[in-house]
């Protein structure tokens, strides 16, 4: 870090990271492919810049970054509650891969396969969109940053989410491309701003990409009304 004081020093930053697990029964769940590394890197980089960081983490195998307050959750509903409890904040970064659908009800005991059964139909219901709710919250953080994981039409879908969810920035990952994603330690992010700006961060280590993202956040922070 440079000797110049960061614009993030003293700010309250909430970061969500990792997947969520939606239980089907006591031994099974529906989850997303996410290691949590990108969100943890953002939390670590923000703490290093002097921010007061709350990291709401889904089930991941990662150590808590230095100086970060960590809240562990499992399901999308728990992540929603933990994020809302962490408000008010100055900046929200939604890096978690939140399940879009969860079983309508988790079975109390293990679902058996049984010989009279050829298949199994699970009823799924939509989860709440944490990011969109934070952006529409009466105590909206001055900056709301989303992530988007896309396999195709990355810019189109990412810009659509930016507008629809009323975000300040969205960082898009192209899933299945060289140089990043999921379990990798490296990543490439395409960052789109509400001002129409676009930039590419990486391919680089997730720590470096996180720092690049925070540089963009600092520029937007300086330019945003508050």
Residue 133 as a binder of Ca ion (CB under 5 A): the answer is: no
Which residues make Cβ contacts (< 8 Å) with residue 226, sequence separation at least 6?
142
d(C-alpha 44, C-alpha 21), whole Å: 24
Number of residues engaging Ca ion in binding (CB under 5 A): 1
User: Which partner, ligand CTP, Ca ion, none, binds residue 168 by CB below 5 to 8 Å per kind?
Assistant: none
Q: Minimum distance between the CB of residue 36 and ligand CTP, rounded to whole angstroms? A: 12
Quick check: helix, strand or coil at residue 157? helix
Residue 100 as a binder of Ca ion (CB under 5 A): the answer is: yes
Note whether 180 and 172 are within 8 A (CB).
Answer: no
Residue 76 tokens read as 């999308």
Binding footprint of ligand CTP on the chain (CB under 6 A): 16, 76, 94, 96, 98, 100, 127-131, 146-149, 161
- Is the alpha carbon torsion for 129, 141, 204, 160 positive or negative? positive
Instruction: Name the closest residue to Ca ion (Cβ).
Output: 100
Instruction: State which residue, 70 or 157, has the beta carbon closest to ligand CTP.
Output: 157
Instruction: State which residue, 35 or 127, has the beta carbon closest to ligand CTP.
Output: 127
Residue 150 as a binder of Ca ion (CB under 5 A): the answer is: no
Q: Is 32 known to be catalytic?
A: yes
Instruction: State which residue, 130 or 214, has the beta carbon closest to ligand CTP.
Output: 130
Instruction: State which residue, 33 or 110, has the beta carbon closest to ligand CTP.
Output: 33
User: Which partner, ligand CTP, Ca ion, none, binds residue 146 by CB below 5 to 8 Å per kind?
Assistant: ligand CTP
- What residue ranges in 109-165 does DSSP mark as E strands? 124-126, 143-150
User: Which partner, ligand CTP, Ca ion, none, binds residue 6 by CB below 5 to 8 Å per kind?
Assistant: none
d(C-alpha 208, C-alpha 202), whole Å: 8
Q: Minimum distance between the CB of residue 100 and Ca ion, rounded to whole angstroms? A: 4
d(C-alpha 189, C-alpha 180), whole Å: 9
Among 32, 153, 173, 187, the active-site one is 32
Note whether 188 and 179 are within 8 A (CB).
Answer: yes
User: What burial letters (b/e) apply to 94-114, b meaning 16+ CB within 10 Å?
Assistant: bbbbbbeebbeeeeeeeeeee
Instruction: State which residue, 26 or 156, has the beta carbon closest to ligand CTP.
Output: 156
Instruction: Give catalytic residue positions.
Output: 32
Site residues, Ca ion (CB under 5 A): 100
């Amino acid at each position: 870090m440079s000797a110049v004081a960061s614009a993030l020093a003293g700010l309250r930053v909430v970061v969500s990271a990792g997947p969520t697990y939606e239980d089907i029964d006591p031994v099974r769940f529906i989850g997303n492919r996410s290691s949590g590394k990108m969100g943890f890197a953002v939390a670590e980089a923000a703490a290093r810049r002097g921010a007061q960081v709350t990291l709401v983490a889904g089930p991941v195998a990662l150590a808590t970054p230095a100086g970060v307050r960590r809240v562990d959750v499992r399901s999308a509903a728990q992540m929603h509650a933990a994020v809302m409890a962490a408000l008010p904040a100055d900046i929200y970064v939604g890096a978690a891969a939140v399940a879009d659908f969860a079983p309508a009800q988790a079975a109390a005991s293990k679902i058996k396969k049984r010989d009279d059964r050829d298949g199994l139909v699970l009823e799924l219901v939509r989860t709440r969109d944490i990011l969109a709710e934070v952006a529409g919250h009466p105590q909206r953080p001055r900056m709301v940053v989303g992530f988007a994981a896309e396999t195709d039409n990355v810019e189109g879908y990412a810009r659509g989410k930016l507008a629809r969810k009323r975000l300040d920035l969205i960082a898009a990952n192209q899933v299945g491309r060289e140089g990043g994603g999921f379990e990798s330690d490296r990543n490439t992010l395409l960052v789109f701003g509400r001002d129409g700006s676009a930039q590419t961060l990486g391919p680089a280590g997730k720590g470096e990409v996180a720092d690049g993202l925070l540089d963009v956040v600092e520029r937007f922070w300086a330019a945003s009304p508050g």
